[in-house]
Structure 1
Amino acid sequence: MSQKKITINDVADEAGVSVTTVSMVLSGKGRISTATAERVNQAIEALGFVRNRSAAMLRGGESGVIGLIVRDICHPFYAEMTAGLSEGLEAQGKVLFLTQSGARGQNIDRCFDSLAAQGVEGIVLGGGAENAAHLVGKAREQQIALICASRASSLDETDTIRPDNLHAAKMATEYLIRRGHHCIAWLGGSGSSLTRAERIGGYCATLMQYGLPFRSEWIVECGRQQRDVAALTEQLIHQHPTITAVLCHNASVALGCYFGLQRTGRTIGKGAVDSYYGQQMALVGFGDVPEAELTDPPLTFVTSSAREIGRSAAQRLLQRMADRQGAVQSVILPPILIERGSA
């Protein structure tokens, strides 16, 4: 029979201390009393816990390991961001260790403690930072460099790399208005998403700036499943046939909306806007994916390069590791419009 693997949590329970305390003892970082350290080491010996090689290396120097916490690596934004981050770190001889905190960031503490136990030099929070304010103190206590590379939220006293969601939505909305669209709907995103809130803020502000109608029923919340998005798009257009353009929260929503608009009989593209049911529809999404060029017409997007955000995060983390007392920086990357045929 295989023996149960002893974890850092088991050691913490045995010693009667927190997982954070065990992590500090393992890495040799932080301020731990001799008595507490001895109690933790006794628990390690009693349970037969195998010390992590990276944590042991850290006592003699740098581990070369960087941690990343994201909610879901399958999300296109974070997949691209991870690629850019890895490129930037590997060029400097660092290795990226990836963890996922869950759809709501519910496992973020477990991820942090696991990375700390690995002896990481730094951690990049790639999402869910609104639930992570307490990690700033934990990282400082354990002498782990911490930065935030997120689509929306940021942490006080922490370096942040992020896209300009408000400006991106203003850019997309104004682009449609200048092409003659006055009835513009919003599709996608969760009501709890800070990214969505920032984008909708830019969308509404631009409508008001141009004196155009804002109607709450034109703003539809939904997930990323394209079949569901397509059905919601059909319903939206049938109920509100005056809509001539749709802004989509992300690339998956934009693709689902594309199929839904086709089912309504509308023509997607740059043609003139008219007042009849068979009118031309414009479609703009946020984020961009390679599949956007496979539709007919190809989809127009407003995007801040997720890969570039990852590269910038790598650069900033390396700077923070070299200068722990330097001024906190907030880097906001501007959006760009990728104009194709759908708007």
Structure 2
Amino acid sequence: MVTIYDIAKRANVSPMTVSRVINNSKQISESTRQKVQAVIEELGYIPNSAARSLISKKTKILSLLITDITNPFFTRVARGAEDKAKQFGYQILLSNTDEDFKKEEDYIDMLLSTNVDGVLLAPTGDQSKKNIKKLIKRDIPFVLLDREIEGIESDIVLGDSYEGTRKLIEHLIQQGHKKIALINGPLSVSTARERHKSYIETLKLSNLKVNHDLISEIGYNKDDADTIIKNLISLPKFERPTAIFAANNFIAVNAIKALRKFGYEVPKDMSIVCFEDFEPITGFNPFLTAAIQPAYSFGYTGIQFLIERIEGKAPKEYRKIVLSPEIVIRESSRLIKK
């Protein structure tokens, strides 16, 4: 195994000089830096990250803590985060909580022991405040992603859940739907609260009745919407919905599967719209009318904010970025007679 002493001997410099080159010290002349770098490449030396961190007090490792890696939204978030981190010479440690507070807690404890430089995290819900306070206590920089936590001050990158919901509900109303169901995520999550609020207010502004029998909650990554769909289609005909707003893509797909079990077709018998998108799925139709968020930008911007905090380049005031979704109309919603 090649060491800095081998590099020093071949380059005819001291081991300290090699260490300074590896850690990008400004105390080295450009000619010496180039000479040492040439030997490093020649011998294929890979710096020991643990040793470097002892000198620089930085690991150059960031944590990305997300709630569901199987959701294409978070897959694209991770890609944006990784691309931005690489630009600045950082590496990403990816952790997936599955919307589970206990898993989130275990990962936070693990991150504290690995001395990551900072954390970009999508909280599992309001209860995440307890876990985030551990980061604050240890003075570890962090940025919140996609979800807010009341009482926690930080940089944050959000999507416009309220506006996206409003536009989707208005789209359904314009198609003639007056009875629109909401299958929402847990109200302990800020995105679900925003979508619930927008759903209610948009119906009221359109002079439509808010029927609480049409409102339900389910986990964002649960795979069984059968009970909710059965309850909706079992309502008296004059109360039964003609359309469903699903709080995310997984809920929408599971609702469509449940409808099919009960003999309903989308959009012939029920229109569906949702937040987020899927990559094309072979044999799955109809493609969803959706509010599609710029997921790549969530991760890219979040990591930029985090690195600026770590390196002391961020403004004193915390920043809040709200990214607008794109409304894409597809075949899962249809015009009905008014």
TM-score (norm 2): 0.73
Aligned residue for 1:98, secondary structure, equals strand
In structure 1, the partner of 2:52 is 57
Shift of 1:262: 3.7
Residues of 2 paired with 1:225 and 1:129: CA distance?
15
Q: 1:147 aligned to 143, 146, 153, which one?
A: 143
Shift of 1:302: 1.1
1:342 aligns with 2:332: yes
Q: Deviations 1:51-106 (Å, cap 9, x if unpaired)? A: xx645532312321111223443344333322221122123221111234464322
In structure 2, the partner of 1:249 is 247
Would the aligned equivalents of 1:229 and 1:260 in 2 still touch at CA under 8 Å?
A: yes
Would the aligned equivalents of 1:67 and 1:123 in 2 still touch at CA under 8 Å?
A: yes
Aligned residue type for 2:53: L
Would the aligned equivalents of 1:287 and 1:302 in 2 still touch at CA under 8 Å?
A: yes
Residues of 2 paired with 1:135 and 1:222: CA distance?
23
In structure 2, the partner of 1:308 is 297
Aligned ranges 1:69-88 → 2 under 5 Å = 69-88=65-84
Comparing 91-100 with 158-167, which one deviates more in the overlay? 91-100
Aligned residue for 1:243, secondary structure, equals coil
Residues of 1 paired with 2:123 and 2:272: CA distance?
27
Q: 1:295 aligned to 248, 267, 284, which one?
A: 284
Q: Deviations 1:292-322 (Å, cap 9, x if unpaired)? A: 6853332111121322211111121122223
Unmatched tracts of structure 2, length 5 or more: 1-47, 334-338
Would the aligned equivalents of 2:181 and 2:244 in 1 still touch at CA under 8 Å?
A: yes
Residues of 1 paired with 2:227 and 2:325: CA distance?
29
Q: 1:194 aligned to 184, 190, 198, which one?
A: 190
Instruction: Name the Cα RMSD after superposition.
Output: 2.7
Would the aligned equivalents of 2:305 and 2:314 in 1 still touch at CA under 8 Å?
A: no
Comparing 243-252 with 321-330, which one deviates more in the overlay? 321-330
Seen in structure 2, the aligned counterparts of structure 1 residues 138 and 55 have a Cα distance that, compared at 3 Å, is: farther
Aligned residue for 1:172, secondary structure, equals helix
Aligned residue type for 1:319: E
Residues of 2 paired with 1:331 and 1:339: CA distance?
26
In structure 1, the partner of 2:181 is 185
Seen in structure 2, the aligned counterparts of structure 1 residues 170 and 294 have a Cα distance that, compared at 3 Å, is: farther
In structure 2, the partner of 1:116 is 112
Shift of 1:252: 1.6
Aligned residue type for 1:328: Y
1:174 aligns with 2:174: no
Aligned length, in residue pairs: 281
Seen in structure 2, the aligned counterparts of structure 1 residues 293 and 287 have a Cα distance that, compared at 3 Å, is: farther
Residues of 1 paired with 2:97 and 2:263: CA distance?
42
TM-score (norm 1): 0.72
Would the aligned equivalents of 2:126 and 2:189 in 1 still touch at CA under 8 Å?
A: no
Residues of 2 paired with 1:284 and 1:153: CA distance?
27
Residues of 1 paired with 2:138 and 2:155: CA distance?
17
Seen in structure 2, the aligned counterparts of structure 1 residues 154 and 339 have a Cα distance that, compared at 3 Å, is: farther
Residues of 2 paired with 1:134 and 1:264: CA distance?
42
Aligned residue for 1:59, secondary structure, equals helix
Aligned residue type for 1:248: A
Unmatched tracts of structure 1, length 5 or more: 1-52, 270-278
1:218 aligns with 2:219: no
Residues of 1 paired with 2:143 and 2:314: CA distance?
12
Would the aligned equivalents of 1:245 and 1:281 in 2 still touch at CA under 8 Å?
A: yes
In structure 2, the partner of 1:91 is 87
Shift of 1:199: 0.6
Q: Deviations 1:97-155 (Å, cap 9, x if unpaired)? A: 12344643224444234223323221112223633445666545644321111334466
Aligned residue type for 1:57: R
Aligned residue for 1:309, secondary structure, equals helix
Structure showing greater radius of gyration is: 2
Aligned residue type for 1:186: L
Residues of 2 paired with 1:89 and 1:181: CA distance?
45
In structure 2, the partner of 1:31 is none
Q: Percent identity?
A: 23
Residues of 1 paired with 2:88 and 2:69: CA distance?
23
Aligned residue for 2:225, secondary structure, equals helix
Residues of 2 paired with 1:109 and 1:267: CA distance?
41
Residues of 1 paired with 2:64 and 2:257: CA distance?
35
